[in-house]
Amino acid sequence: MSSNEKPLFPVPLHGTKANTLIWTDPYTIDIETAAQIRMMSRVPWVEQIRIMPDVHWGNGATVGSVIAMKDAVAPAAVGVDIGCGMAAVNTGLRLESLPDDLHSLRLAFEEVVPVGRAGHKKAAPILKQDQQLSNLATETFRDFSRLHADLPFGQLKTMRAQCGSLGGGNHFIELCSDDHGEIWLMLHSGSRNIGKVLAEYHMHKAAKLEHNLTLEDRSMSVFISGTGEMDAYLHDLYWAQDYARLNRAIMLATLKNALLKVLPQANFGQEIQCHHNYVAQETHGGVDVIVTRKGAIRAGSGDLGLIPGSMGTGSFIVRGLGNEASLCSASHGAGRRMSRSEARRIYSASDLAAQTAGVECRKDAGIVDEIPAAYKDLDEVIAAQTQEHSPLVEVVARLTTLLCVKG
């Protein structure tokens, strides 16, 4: 292949088992991440691995990985933010209907949705107004007592208070315009502290099991089908996935109300919801497998998904094409190209302000690690998944970021 030719994806990654295919140029994957993928491919229960173009190193397992296991599941292949994902809704507004200055709207969003480590005083106020959400929350909170993990009572209070809150890191709330000037409200969040607590509890438990003691890397320890340990993990994990979805639903409803107070002509329409750190029991190639997507979305035929970039690059709404070669998956975002510590070392608040020019958002040193330059090129990530040879998704719309709230 000449230097001017672009690879036709998927391609193998040298040094992995034949069960591993990737949708990115292997020479762009850093040494540490490539070594982690190779290690994952050698875990005995792994049937297939698919690597998305937003790939980067992750704790325990690679971010941007889709792992199909036979009769086993690895908690690290889901990650600590169980059920993390995206939600978006068309507001019925148009670009020309927005005020020229969105600062007051950003403050309104930040006032009603706690960010960072914060939560509500007791429970999200919207639950007193929305009976359907209230019923769902009551059911979810009640099922907390049925979790298998041995959790302190204080976790119940924290879990209730944080349901309907954003969190920190790369979690965000955005107001965006699409190709036709229509305005979308979008957010990215997961299962908050309770998801992390549950994940770490079960990871620690798995690492002590005898069948994992000889693994090359015990961070990829697994639970085996037919055991009480696996049943307990899946029970707790599915609860956390439901909690994460409820968390996003509460925030979306809260933000709709806040937007209506400023722009009462909003008329909310189509909603899109998708997990990108989760487990699903699926059949691929005629084999029943347990699929973990860590930094990847399901892209089954017709599935609508959201692939965000960064604070300055916007996002994409996509429709899955059901590509079995990818285990019906696609990327969850642009993916980081540098660590948070490296971004803070290289860039300043003034760099952040320059790279987010035109976006209503914080521009202080506290979120420099989320600077657009810390992320991969979103257009290249999308191009790798829409190429004619083996496409994963088709683009429905590109979203341009107008306002962004970070934790």
What's the Cα-to-Cα distance from 23 to each of 50, 52, 127, 231, 385, rounded to whole Å?
8, 5, 42, 33, 7
Q: Rounded to 5 degrees, what angle do the CA atoms 41, 45, 49 make?
A: 35
**Is 9 annotated as a binding-site member?**
no
Please tell me which residue in 56, 180, 332, 389 is annotated as part of the active site: 332
CB 403 within 8 A of CB 174: yes
H helix or E strand, kind and range, residue 349: helix 349-355
**Is 170 annotated as a binding-site member?**
yes
**Is 235 annotated as a binding-site member?**
no
**Is 167 annotated as a binding-site member?**
no
Tokens of 105: 């709207």
**Is 19 annotated as a binding-site member?**
no
**Is 174 annotated as a binding-site member?**
yes
**Is 223 annotated as a binding-site member?**
no
**Is 97 annotated as a binding-site member?**
no
**Is 326 annotated as a binding-site member?**
no
Nearest CA to 244 out of 319, 187, 301 is that of 187
**Is 315 annotated as a binding-site member?**
yes
DSSP assignments along 286-323, one per residue: TEEEEEEEESEEE--TT-EEEEE--TTT-EEEEEE---
- The Cα–Cα gap between 88 and 55 comes to 23
Q: Which amino acid is at 197?
A: V
Sequence-ordered strand ranges (E) for 178-227:
182-189, 223-224
H helix or E strand, kind and range, residue 142: helix 131-143
**Is 406 annotated as a binding-site member?**
yes
Radius of gyration of the chain (CA): 21
Coil vs helix vs strand at 68: strand
279-286: long-range contacts at Cβ-Cβ below 8 A with a sequence spacing of 24 or more? 279/73, 279/78, 279/234, 279/237, 279/238, 279/241, 282/68, 282/327, 282/328, 284/48, 284/68, 284/324, 284/327, 284/328, 285/324
**Is 4 annotated as a binding-site member?**
no
Please report how many Cα atoms fall inside a 13 Å half-sphere around the Cα of residue 298, on the Cβ side. Answer: 17
**Is 308 annotated as a binding-site member?**
yes
**How distant is the alpha carbon of residue 259 from its chain centre?**
24
> Sheet of 63-69: strands edge to edge?
20-22, 46-56, 63-69, 287-294, 277-284
**Is 144 annotated as a binding-site member?**
no
**Is 309 annotated as a binding-site member?**
yes
What's the Cα-to-Cα distance from 351 to each of 37, 237, 328, 343, 367, rounded to whole Å?
33, 39, 38, 11, 11
* 71 burial via Cβ count (<10 Å: 0-12, 13-18, 19+): middle
Tell me whether strands 20-22 and 46-56 are parallel, antiparallel or unpaired.
parallel
Instruction: Based on the residue annotation, tell me whether 389 is a catalytic residue of this protein.
Output: no
**Is 116 annotated as a binding-site member?**
no
**Is 171 annotated as a binding-site member?**
yes
**Is 130 annotated as a binding-site member?**
no
Length of the chain: 407
**Is 343 annotated as a binding-site member?**
no
**Which parts are annotated binding residues for Mn(2+)?**
81, 171, 188, 276
Residues with active-site annotation: 332
**Which parts are annotated binding residues for GMP?**
170-174, 276-277, 308-311, 315, 332-335, 406
**Which parts are annotated binding residues?**
81, 170-174, 188, 276-277, 308-311, 315, 332-335, 406
